[in-house]
Structure 1
Amino acid sequence: MTEDETRRAEPEPAIAASGGAKAELGLRIVSALLLGSVSVALAWAGTLPFAALVLAVTLILSWEWAHVVRGDGIDLALGIQFAAAIGAIGLAAFGFAALGVALLLIGTIIVLALEFGERPILSAAGVLYAGLPAVALIWLRSNEPMGFYAVLFILLVVAATDTAAYFAGRSIGGPRLAPSISPKKTWSGLLGGISAAGLTAGAFASSVGAPVLPLAVAGVAMGLVAQTGDLAESALKRAFHLKDASGLLPGHGGFMDRVDGLVPVAVLLALVLLFLDPKAPADALFSGLFPAQR
């Protein structure tokens, strides 16, 4: 039996030792702070530095998706996904986000047509899973001068959701949210997460002079979407009998485990802003999202 097969077959321990839990929490905090600091710094530096970071994360996400879904490190499908991601991110970075999305769709169709793995639809979905949020974030960042604040807003709301959900679930406990998918998640964690998301969004709106109530409501919605993305990623891993997408991030597992909430939030928020103002999505975000507030 290979090391990967052994890892898939190993059952998860029911209760972690307190010392191990504290060590894991410490690793989670340190790795989250480092990744968050680098992300904010490069987003502040400009669209191209931020796009370089997004590209690196997207390639890692693509590899992790292939590892989870097909159990392969590198194969032709991953090569196609890499090519689609690099092309799409390059196009988005230079102002052609729509063409970037089109390229991702082409890559998805090619991977689906070639039927890689036992579940070819999931193999093809990986192209969009890794690529769409990348294009969305770069598209938002490129809207100067508010693009940086739009990216920062998303990162802070998602981070607040994850952090509050983790600590509320651990400290309050109570009924399980979806025990068949993720046994540790609770309703108290969900409520804590979306509450923190709304408060963070409202506070951020106040700090930049944007309408507080609409953005606070948007923050709650983003918190719900982030938690849904977390559950969806947990369901995917459970379907393949995996605890983590990889071991690249200490305390978190893999990058998929770290950005599972960010992925759907970035895509869905970008779709909303696309309909409000495709030429200036970040401006639309801080106008309050709703036409009546603008």
Structure 2
Amino acid sequence: MTREDLARDELIRALQAAAARDPDVIALLLGGSLGAGGGDRWSDVDTILVTPPDRHAAVVQGLQAWVSAIARPVLWRQTFPPHPLFMAVLPGWLRLDVTVTIPGHVTGARDRVRALYDPQDLIGGLPATYPPREPDPRKIASLVEEFLRIIGLLPVAMGRDEPVLAVTGVTLLRGLLQDLLVEAQAPPAPMGALSLSRLLPAEDVALLAALPIPRADWNEILEANRRYAIEFLSRARALAARSGAPWPTALEAEAAKRLARDAGLDASAILPRGI
């Protein structure tokens, strides 16, 4: 067991003890990879704190102080305001996430969550496992639209001679391709942001590793746009057909015209059709 594992285990025990003596805490559950019985020395501590409905607002308001009584954070942030999801970095670079919820709103599955403090057995009311799911057509449609929107901005960067910003555009396309590859796997539960190789097939990881991040050079930038478009759109078309996601034909056509009209580019080289 590494020093990091020991420190993290001490944090989990301290959270467990704090929950057990706090009358505002109905349950404290461990989620994420550790809650699922996996994880490694790099895994953070994902927790779900369950509180009575009439105390929820007060618990959210006082959560930073509650955590600080265990270990004072060097970073504290509400992840998605106004939702009660918080992230903290503690001394030793221990990472802690806390979601505050109420009974009846606890989500998860018994094979993905472990009870740290649960005298009412809230975990017993969860499904045994997450049900399998298919790729989400709304998510796929959104990814395709955003990909076409970003690639349609390439002429703006070219017209203003902003190759550095155009490189940023390529990294956005890369992120969208990665999201598409993840959605194609239809993970039943949310995955950690730093656990890509645990979810994607080896060939998808190899694809991402092989695709270029260009320098601020227009020839490299154009080639990168072409390669990402080929890989993204070929997969997106197949996934849209599989899931029933609508294809933004008009947006795709306008993007192609934009590239040809405003950048003098052969749109078929950037947006290959029929692949």
Fold-level similarity (TM above 0.5)? no
TM-score scaled to structure 2, two decimals?
Answer: 0.29
Q: Flag the structure with higher strand content.
A: 2
Q: Flag the structure with higher helix content.
A: 1
TM-score scaled to structure 1, two decimals?
Answer: 0.28
**Higher normalized contact order (CA 8 Å, seq sep 6+, divided by chain length):** 1
